[in-house]
Amino acid sequence: MLKTAHIALGSNLGSSERILGYAAGTIASLSVDRARFSSLWRTEPEGFTGTVPAFLNAVMAIETRLGPEDLLCALQEIERDQGRSQSATKGYQSRTLDLDLIDYDGRVLESANLVLPHPRACERQFVLIPLQEVTAGYRFPHLSEYSLQELIDRAPDNRMVRLSQLVPLA
């Protein structure tokens, strides 16, 4: 049975646009149907201490037969392929690639490896605005009384700049 998954992509080290294009193309290959892509956005780093480079962020949606844990493992493998270490360091760090499973078919899940929906996605404009581009009527299952626009309005302002459409690389 096909399930819809929403994935947030981010990068602030290296050739971020190329890295996100590669990741989008690789993730799209996990989709049974045509993947949907948001714009590519330049965003201010959130939660960091000190000065770090701006991020490029996007969101995509796929239709997959993979379960949520298997999809998470596939996303982590793509991150490793792009040089991200899965170190035990706590806190925010700059990275070549960050892939977050935001939602898996509206499922609410909490396991040792995965929390769905992503616990901070509903508070971040750099996720909410691209998510609205991909699935305008999306509602978080645990906050279904709020539209995406209401969550965007409530989230701290990020001063995001739309750059272009995210283009997956083959």
Q: Name which of 2-11, 16-25, 45-54, 116-125 the model is least confident about.
A: 45-54
CATH numbers and ranges of domains, the chain: 3-165 (3.30.70.560)
The question of whether 84 is a catalytic residue gets the answer yes
Q: What is the DSSP letter of 115?
A: E
User: Does pLDDT of 1 surpass 90?
Assistant: no
88 pLDDT above the threshold of 80: no
Give the tokens for residue 78: 């793509």
Residue of 34, 36, 81, 95 marked catalytic: 95
Set 34, 36, 42, 100: catalytic member: 100
- Percentage of residues in the chain having pLDDT higher than 90: 84
Q: Which of 18, 36, 42, 98 is catalytic?
A: 98
Mean pLDDT, residues 11-28: 95
The answer to whether 103 and 137 are in contact (CB under 8 A) is no
Give me 47's structure tokens: 């939660």
Write down the catalytic residue from 33, 36, 42, 84. Answer: 84
Cis peptide before 117 (omega within 30 of 0): yes
Clarify whether 36 is annotated catalytic.
no
Counting Cβ atoms within 10 Å, is residue 20 exposed (0-12), middle (13-18) or buried (19+)?
buried
Q: Please give the pLDDT value at position 51.
A: 87
Residue 77: which pLDDT band, with cuts at 50, 70 and 90?
very high
Whole-model pTM: value is: 0.93
Assess whether 95 carries a catalytic annotation.
yes
Query: Considering only 66-75, 80-89, 125-134, which range has the smallest mean pLDDT?
Result: 80-89
| Stretch 27-43: mean pLDDT | 96
